[in-house]
Amino acid sequence: MEQHARQRGAQDPQRRSPARGGLRSRNGLPAGQFHIAAIIWSPDSSTDQLRTLEGRARSLAVRWNSCGPPIVTAINRATLWAWIPRGRNTEAIGMADVRRFAEEAGDCRIALGLPGRGTAGFRRSHAQAQAARSVALASPDDQTPPAVGFGDQGVAIVSMLAKDVDETRQWVRDVLGQLAVANEHAATLRETMRFFFRTGENYARTAELIERS
Contact (Cβ atoms closer than 8 angstroms) between residue 148 and residue 129: no
Residues 105-116 have pLDDT tens digits of 999 999 999 999
Q: What is the pLDDT of residue 14?
A: 43
**HSE-up (13 A, CA, CB side) for residue 35:** 30
Please say whether the beta carbons of 207 and 192 come within 8 A: no
DSSP 8-state code for residue 24:
B
User: pLDDT tens digits, residue range 26-71?
Assistant: 445 666 789 999 999 998 888 889 999 999 999 999 988 888 899 9
CA distances from 157 to 17, 28, 120, 169 (A): 30, 33, 21, 14
For 40-51, how does the pLDDT look when each residue is reduced to its tens digit (9 = 90+)? 999 888 888 999
Helical H segments across the chain, by residue range = 2-7, 50-63, 95-105, 118-138, 155-161, 165-176, 184-198, 203-212
From 192, 189, 187, select the one nearest 208 (Cα to Cα). 192
What pTM value is reported for the model? 0.67
